[in-house]
Amino acid sequence: MGLFSFLTKEIAIDLGTANTIIIHGDKIVVDEPSIIAFNQKTDKVIAIGTKAQQMHGKTHENIRTVRPLRDGVIADFEAAEMMIRGLIKMSTAKGRFWTPSLKIVVGIPSGSTEVERRAVMDSSEHAGAREVYMIYEPMASAIGIGIDVEAPEGNMIVDIGGGTTEIAVISLGGIVTNKSIRIAGDDFTEDIREYMRHQHNIKIFERTAENIKMNVGSALGELENPPPDYIVRGPHQMTALPVEIPVTYQEISQCLDKSLIKVETAILNVLEHTPPELYADIFKNGIWLSGGGALLRGLAKRLSEKTNLPVKVAEDPLHAVARGTGIALKNVGKFPFLMRR
């Protein structure tokens, strides 16, 4: 370690559509929703993360909440930059009278275009980073799960985040075949909103749909340990009078079916393009699920039945990408798959 290494702060960022996680020194120092709130009149930042999320859907004309990332990529450059800056500030030790120079590794979707990669790079640099590296999310996820990505062996990762589902076969430190589809957690939430509107004539916001997904979300119509029905309260669309509706996990499995079929199709497509030798490895090692979507009840079983392959959920699916990004940060010189400008 160099004499002035203490002047450089090294952080790993999992910049997600739903949540942003920052790792510093092996510890998760920030785990906040990817959302920012502005004062409409002055354009000043009022809140970032959890505080901004609490305002989402409850604001008046003077406050605007923004989710800067859509489908896994930056949709609002300025808001993303301010959010990254604010979250980095949260991760910095209090009481310092100097700002250390930053070295950052950021996880990005494997289907990112050159323009989208540049947006992440620019946002990170504008937020104060001196050195920025990027790593594809399925690669970071594999590292975070504990897979030896540089081994001459095939491993398949399905990372279901908020904005994208990343499917990749990894071998010898590289992605052999992959697919990045913009069907993920946000789409499941939107499916639930639509279903409640059409089926029950009840208007619900994003957060309520998210709560339904977490409480009774299911990929199968038959579960061994079914969750109790979830009570949803809201205004009836026609009368505007308050209603209470119990929602079952069977209903949600039905309304998520279309989106889950698209995820299954993408997985089968990647398997179809996998070289036979690596396919044999996947048959032995199974498919690994990570990301928030991996927590959907019955998903591993459903995918296993569809592919005839063993499907395993990572130990800590929500933080797999972040942990892998953190390990990559420590091995910047060792991992050739890290990208720079």
What domains, with CATH codes, occur in the chain?
5-140+321-330 (3.30.420.40)
- Of all residues in the chain, the percent with pLDDT exceeding 90 is 73
**pLDDT tens figures, 225-259:** 999 999 999 999 989 899 999 999 999 999 999 99
Q: Which residue has the tokens 């030798």?
A: 277
Is this prediction's pTM over 0.85?
yes
How far is residue 39 from each of residues 45, 116, 191, 269, 274, measured CA to CA in Å? 6, 27, 31, 46, 50
**pLDDT tens figures, 56-74:** 878 888 999 999 998 888 8
Q: What is the mean pLDDT of residues 162-184?
A: 95
Would you state the pLDDT for residue 3?
42
Confidence of residue 2 (pLDDT cuts 50, 70, 90): very low
Q: How many CB atoms lie within 10 A of CB 177?
A: 19
If phi over 0 gives left and psi between -120 and 50 gives alpha, with beta otherwise, what is residue 308? Answer: left
Could you tell me if 18 and 72 are in contact, meaning their C-beta atoms sit under 8 angstroms apart?
A: no
CA distance 113 to 11: 24
R_g (Cα) of the chain, nearest Å: 21
Spatial strand order of the sheet with 19-24 comes to: 27-33, 19-24, 8-15, 101-108, 129-136
Q: How many CB atoms lie within 10 A of CB 71?
A: 20
CA distance 150 to 174: 8
Q: What is the mean pLDDT of residues 84-109?
A: 76
The residue that leads in pLDDT, 335 or 4, is 335
Q: What is the mean pLDDT of residues 251-268?
A: 97
Would you state the pLDDT for residue 100?
63
Could you tell me if 105 and 121 are in contact, meaning their C-beta atoms sit under 8 angstroms apart?
A: no
Helix intervals (H) in the chain: 50-55, 77-91, 114-126, 137-145, 185-200, 206-216, 249-272, 276-285, 299-307, 320-330
What 8-state DSSP symbol labels residue 77? H
Looking at the predicted structure, is the pLDDT value of residue 168 above 90? yes
Could you tell me if 34 and 17 are in contact, meaning their C-beta atoms sit under 8 angstroms apart?
A: yes
Could you tell me if 341 and 121 are in contact, meaning their C-beta atoms sit under 8 angstroms apart?
A: yes
Could you tell me if 309 and 154 are in contact, meaning their C-beta atoms sit under 8 angstroms apart?
A: no
Could you tell me if 292 and 18 are in contact, meaning their C-beta atoms sit under 8 angstroms apart?
A: yes
Would you state the pLDDT for residue 341?
66
Torsion angle (degrees, nearest 10) of CA 121, 126, 127, 132: 30
Would you state the pLDDT for residue 56?
85
In 3D space, the residue among 260, 250, 241, 181 whose CA is nearest the CA of residue 222 turns out to be 250
Looking at the predicted structure, is the pLDDT value of residue 96 above 80? no
Would you state the pLDDT for residue 6?
54
**pLDDT tens figures, 193-224:** 999 999 999 999 888 999 999 999 999 999 99
**pLDDT tens figures, 293-334:** 999 999 999 999 999 999 999 999 999 999 999 999 999 888
Lowest-confidence range among 98-112, 115-129, 144-158, 234-248? 98-112
Would you state the pLDDT for residue 1?
42
Type of residue found at 3: L
Q: What is the mean pLDDT of residues 67-89?
A: 90
Looking at the predicted structure, is the pLDDT value of residue 284 above 90? yes
